[in-house]
């Protein structure tokens, strides 16, 4: 039974219930197959982005156009946001013009403040803490590869930040076992880890380790992200030796399930978190995963805007 999150914010993956998440994935699959085409004409999505983006920006825009709506690109450089207009004021003004906003910024507190001041739905399009829209596409890709989300294990190797956080919460809600392997000092936020354990409700397991081999043993999906995220670029070179044992390469694939798939939110730094062969090889699902951003976010927008 589909229970879409009508009229609500998606600030964290944990804003969804397990039923809502499964419902969104089902809807995304229907939209991808072309068997159902909801419409929300005259609705306007504002993209309030303070960080770079290819996939999120374009997939949200195309999703909204395909739903019959319109998009406004409100990058910080072209609005008064870049000149320091407070979030609370921006939120109350945009609230009067657009029907939904997707925000990409640094602090999670900023989108929470925006949502407090705006009555329209607010979608997290990436903060330093979370990237829930990415994980909708990732779970859709996993489900497509195995035909189910039951009895699967996802392994994430790398930096324990935004993508890892939402992935832990999303896997916990979806009933997928999640193992996160990070170098010392780069473990996920303990509050998010506890939240994931709570959301899993014993349906699936949540493991955090510094042992990359233990993290990938027998796993069905190996997932990684850049070693230095947007905002951490100054540490990129110094992190390489610490993160090297967490690279996704043939040796890691050999430890995983023989049908394991490789995932990466992209953009990728070949030769760092993932080898060229792993990225381009037969187990890679990177392009399906990127395509699924479109279908998953279209499902999210259609649900939030009550078009389904
Ligand atoms: N994966 C992802 O969010 O990509 P972009 O930064 O290009 O939007
Ligand atoms: N962790 C990365 C994800 C990019 C989509 C970053 O925040 O830069």
CA distance 31 to 223: 25
pLDDT digits (tens, 9 = 90+) for 132-190: 999 999 999 999 999 999 999 999 999 999 999 999 999 999 999 999 999 999 999 99
Q: What is the pLDDT of residue 221?
A: 99
User: Is the confidence at residue 3, as pLDDT, over 60?
Assistant: no
- Please state the φ and ψ torsions of residue 17, each to the nearest 5 degrees: -85, 165
- Ligand 1 touching residue 134 (CB < 6 A): yes
Query: pLDDT by residue (tens digit) across 53-81?
Result: 999 999 999 999 999 999 999 998 899 99
- Note the pTM of the prediction, 2 decimals: 0.97
Instruction: Indicate the SS3 state at residue 297.
Output: helix
CA distances from 241 to 227, 236, 238, 267 (A): 11, 10, 7, 20
Confidence of residue 2 (pLDDT cuts 50, 70, 90): low
Q: Find the ligand nearest to 134 CA.
A: 1
List domains and CATH numbers for the chain.
13-130+293-304 (3.40.50.1370), 135-289 (3.40.50.1370)
- Cβ neighbour number for residue 242 with a 10 Å cutoff: 15
Residue 1 pLDDT more than 60? no
DSSP annotation of 259? T
User: Which residue among 57, 99, 128, 134 is the active-site one?
Assistant: 134
Confidence bin at 229 (pLDDT 50/70/90): very high
Q: How much distance in Å is there from the Cα of 247 to the middle of ligand 2?
A: 16
* Separation of alpha carbons 198 and 293, rounded Å: 27
Ligand 2 neighbour 163 (Cβ under 6 A):
yes
Residue tagged active-site, from 225, 264, 285, 289: 225
């Amino acid at each position: 039974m589909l229970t879409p999150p009508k009229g609500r914010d998606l600030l964290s993956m944990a804003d969804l219930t397990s039923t809502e998440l499964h419902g969104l994935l089902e809807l995304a699959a229907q939209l991808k197959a072309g068997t159902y085409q909801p419409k929300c004409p005259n609705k306007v999505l504002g993209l309030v982005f303070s960080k770079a983006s290819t996939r999120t920006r374009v997939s949200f825009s195309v999703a909204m156009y395909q739903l019959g709506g319109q998009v406004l690109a409100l990058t910080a450089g072209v609005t008064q946001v870049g000149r320091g207009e407070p979030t609370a004021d921006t939120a109350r003004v945009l609230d009067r013009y657009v029907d939904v906003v997707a925000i990409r910024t640094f602090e999670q507190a900023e989108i929470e403040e925006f949502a407090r001041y705006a009555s329209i739905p607010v979608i997290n399009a990436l903060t330093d803490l979370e990237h829930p829209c990415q994980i909708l596409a990732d779970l859709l890709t996993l489900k497509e590869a195995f035909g189910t989300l039951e009895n699967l294990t996802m392994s994430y190797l790398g930096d324990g930040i935004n993508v890892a956080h939402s992935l832990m919460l999303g896997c916990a809600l979806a009933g997928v076992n999640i193992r996160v392997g990070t170098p010392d000092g780069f473990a996920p936020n303990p509050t998010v880890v506890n939240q994931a354990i709570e959301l899993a409700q014993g349906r699936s397991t949540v493991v955090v380790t510094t042992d990359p081999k233990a993290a990938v043993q027998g796993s069905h999906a190996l997932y990684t992200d850049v070693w230095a995220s947007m905002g951490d670029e100054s540490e990129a070179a110094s992190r390489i030796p610490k993160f090297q044992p967490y690279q996704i390469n043939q040796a890691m694939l050999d430890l995983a399930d023989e049908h394991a798939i490789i995932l990466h939110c992209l953009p990728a730094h070949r030769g760092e978190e993932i080898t060229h062969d792993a990225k381009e090889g037969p187990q890679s699902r990177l392009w399906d995963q990127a395509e699924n951003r479109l279908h998953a976010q279209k499902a999210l927008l259609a649900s939030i805007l009550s078009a389904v």
